[in-house]
């Protein structure tokens, strides 16, 4: 009996930071310093759990937590400083374990896949380069005018560009924000521990499965109903 | 009816990194770079979960994971580089939210407390200074000749110096290594999320309670049976 390929999963939508590239810790420290310069002092672990949400939300929440408000001008300054500090701290983003090989294999096997990230195009360029993607790779970023995570917009746009219905896609992400945005987009989510969240945090948020890193995900890809 | 003070908890033993000072993320990045220089490439999240164990164990495990071995000379070099890179990345360790106030109040209320850390005395000096401890503060560090965590030795030595029996102490730490070492020392452990672990990771390791940071711990201190 042949397997009906139509019944299998068809596409993967990847988050970028902490999912494909090892940048979450650098972002957490850069945000901490950028926010300190505008008078908002926050423990790194608090910022760690905010990486992946829109930068504006991250700043607002960090300010509110210490009973402060940031003006639009200060937010803009902190956003710019974060980008500067991050580029200095992580000049060459490192692909996470197994990420490059996984993307190569997906391309080779013609499994539809794309990247959807809250980051702006110019700031994600070094990470995209490190992943050695083809020129035709589908990348939806925060410059698209769509609302960043935890809004579902970026994932929905990526899913539409991949030409797959939401029930045939998985979102792969390292943060609860990815899982929240995926669920709002009616797409199943897979968690990776490579961004530093605990396994239970991701399962409790609603991840269908949680793997250690891209390498472990790829090893189990048949169990996800993806025909390699 | 008077409360019998003898029945309450008598002493607190604190871990340092991620428990009192905001240094875990800086350590994770510094170890990543130091190990890369000796040919061991590891994702930051993997190193994050190894902070708090003895440096030698951390290096051995990171090498073994990628199928390599490090000579004693390379380990010594990486250890030195980690210290250099950390001092550059985090020149002034920042006390975690509520840490300084909590330590002041414990001193004022004459609640016995001490610090037990795997870090060596000279490398922890900036953190100790940032916490504004008194000269008489009890600090057991990795230079004591005792085995570092997850061995129970540092906690046992601290408990003995505090003059309290193990059943009257709590260990407070941010890492599963603290909880493992505490349980081996027959001391109850309290987890803090300020080192970036997930809540369930700490509860599953055996934490009696888990709080967000030193500030939240201190707010709940009466519920721990500690008479302020």
* Ordered structural domains, chain A, with CATH: 5-22+93-224 (3.40.50.1000), 24-89 (1.10.150.240)
Q: Are A194 and B45 an interchain contact pair (Cβ–Cβ within 8 Å)?
A: yes
- Opening angle at CA B216, ends B213 and B220, nearest 5: 140
Q: What is the pTM of this model?
A: 0.94
Q: What is the mean pLDDT of residues A141-169?
A: 92
Confidence at residue A25, expressed as pLDDT on a 0 to 100 scale: 98
Distance CA A93, CA A128 (A): 9
Distance CA B58, CA A162 (A): 42
Model confidence pLDDT, tens digit, residues A171-221: 999 999 999 999 999 999 999 999 999 999 999 999 999 999 999 999 999
Model confidence pLDDT, tens digit, residues B208-225: 999 999 999 999 999 999
Dihedral pair phi/psi, residue B4, rounded to 5°: -80, 105
DSSP A191-206: EEGGGS--HHHHHHHT
- Using CA atoms, how far residue B148 sits from B75, B76, B101, B108, B153, in Å, is 16, 16, 28, 30, 7
Whole-number percent of chain B with pLDDT over 70? 97
Confidence at residue A52, expressed as pLDDT on a 0 to 100 scale: 87
Q: What is the mean pLDDT of residues B110-122?
A: 92
Indicate the DSSP class of residue A119. S
What confidence category does residue B24 fall into, taking pLDDT thresholds of 50, 70 and 90?
Answer: very high
B-chain residues near A24 (CB < 8 A) = 44-45
- In chain A the first and final C-alpha atoms are separated, in Å, by 18
- Residue B7 in this model has a pLDDT that exceeds 80: no
Confidence at residue A82, expressed as pLDDT on a 0 to 100 scale: 96
What confidence category does residue A110 fall into, taking pLDDT thresholds of 50, 70 and 90?
Answer: very high
- Residue A2 in this model has a pLDDT that exceeds 70: no
Least confident of A39-48, A129-138, A151-160: A129-138
DSSP B55-82: HHHHHHHHHHHTT----HHHHHHHHHHH
Confidence at residue B227, expressed as pLDDT on a 0 to 100 scale: 84
B-chain residues near A18 (CB < 8 A) = 45
- Residue B54 in this model has a pLDDT that exceeds 90: no
Q: Are A48 and B201 an interchain contact pair (Cβ–Cβ within 8 Å)?
A: no
Continuous segment of H or E residues that includes residue B170: strand B169-173
Buried b (16+ CB within 10 A) or exposed e, B188-198: bbbbbbbbbbb
Distance CA A105, CA A111 (A): 9
Q: Which of B41, B89, B198 sits opposite A200 (nearest CB)?
A: B198
B-chain residues near A29 (CB < 8 A) = 25-26, 29, 89
Bridge partners (DSSP) listed for residue B139: B115
Chain B within 8 Å of A14 (Cβ-Cβ)?
no
Chain B within 8 Å of A18 (Cβ-Cβ)?
yes
Distance CA A13, CA A158 (A): 7
Higher pLDDT, A108 or A54: A108
Bridge partners (DSSP) listed for residue B189: B171
Higher pLDDT, B53 or B33: B33
Higher pLDDT, A147 or A191: A191
Q: Is A226 helix (H, G, I), strand (E, B) or coil?
A: coil
Q: Are B22 and A44 an interchain contact pair (Cβ–Cβ within 8 Å)?
A: yes
Distance CA B53, CA B220 (A): 28
Average pLDDT for chain A: 94
What confidence category does residue B52 fall into, taking pLDDT thresholds of 50, 70 and 90?
Answer: confident
A-chain residues near B215 (CB < 8 A) = none
Q: What is the mean pLDDT of residues B125-130?
A: 93
Q: What is the mean pLDDT of residues A145-171?
A: 93
Distance CA B138, CA B53 (A): 21
> A110: left (phi > 0), else alpha (psi -120 to 50), else beta?
left
Chain A nearest C-alpha distance from B97 (Å): 7
Q: Which of B43, B194, B198 sits opposite A43 (nearest CB)?
A: B194
- Residue B104 in this model has a pLDDT that exceeds 60: yes
Q: What is the mean pLDDT of residues B102-106?
A: 96
Q: Is A93 helix (H, G, I), strand (E, B) or coil?
A: coil
Scanning B91-130 for CB atoms below 8 A from A yields 94, 96-97
Q: Is B95 helix (H, G, I), strand (E, B) or coil?
A: strand
Distance CA A108, CA A28 (A): 34
Model confidence pLDDT, tens digit, residues B161-189: 999 999 999 999 999 999 999 999 999 99
Model confidence pLDDT, tens digit, residues B139-159: 999 887 788 889 999 999 999
Average pLDDT for chain B: 94
Confidence at residue B6, expressed as pLDDT on a 0 to 100 scale: 58
Q: Are A24 and B45 an interchain contact pair (Cβ–Cβ within 8 Å)?
A: yes
Q: What is the mean pLDDT of residues A142-166?
A: 91
Q: What is the mean pLDDT of residues B118-132?
A: 90
- Residue A169 in this model has a pLDDT that exceeds 90: yes
- Residue B192 in this model has a pLDDT that exceeds 60: yes
Buried b (16+ CB within 10 A) or exposed e, A58-86: bbeebbeeeeeebeeebbeebbebbbebb
Distance CA A209, CA A188 (A): 9
């Amino acid at each position: 009996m042949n397997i009906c390929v139509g019944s299998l999963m068809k596409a993967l939508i990847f988050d970028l930071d902490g999912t494909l590239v090892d940048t979450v810790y650098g972002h957490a420290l850069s945000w901490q310093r950028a926010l300190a310069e505008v008078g908002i002092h926050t423990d790194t672990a608090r910022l760690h759990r905010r990486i992946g949400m829109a930068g504006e939300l991250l700043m607002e929440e960090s300010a509110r937590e210490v009973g402060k408000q940031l003006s639009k001008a200060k937010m803009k300054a902190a956003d710019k400083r974060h980008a500067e500090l991050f580029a200095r701290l992580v000049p060459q983003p490192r692909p996470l374990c197994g990420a490059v090989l996984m993307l190569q294999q997906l391309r080779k096997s013609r499994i539809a896949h794309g990247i959807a990230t809250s980051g702006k195009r110019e700031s994600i360029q070094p990470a995209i380069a490190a992943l050695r993607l083809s020129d035709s790779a589908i990348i939806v970023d925060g410059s698209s005018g769509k609302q960043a995570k935890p809004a579902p917009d970026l994932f929905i746009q990526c899913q539409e560009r991949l030409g797959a219905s939401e029930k045939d896609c998985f979102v792969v992400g390292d943060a609860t924000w990815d899982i929240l945005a995926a669920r709002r987009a009616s797409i199943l989510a897979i968690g990776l521990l490579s961004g530093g969240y605990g396994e239970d945090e991701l399962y409790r948020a609603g991840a269908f499965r949680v793997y250690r890193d891209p390498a472990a995900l790829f090893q189990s890809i048949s169990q996800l109903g993806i025909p390699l």
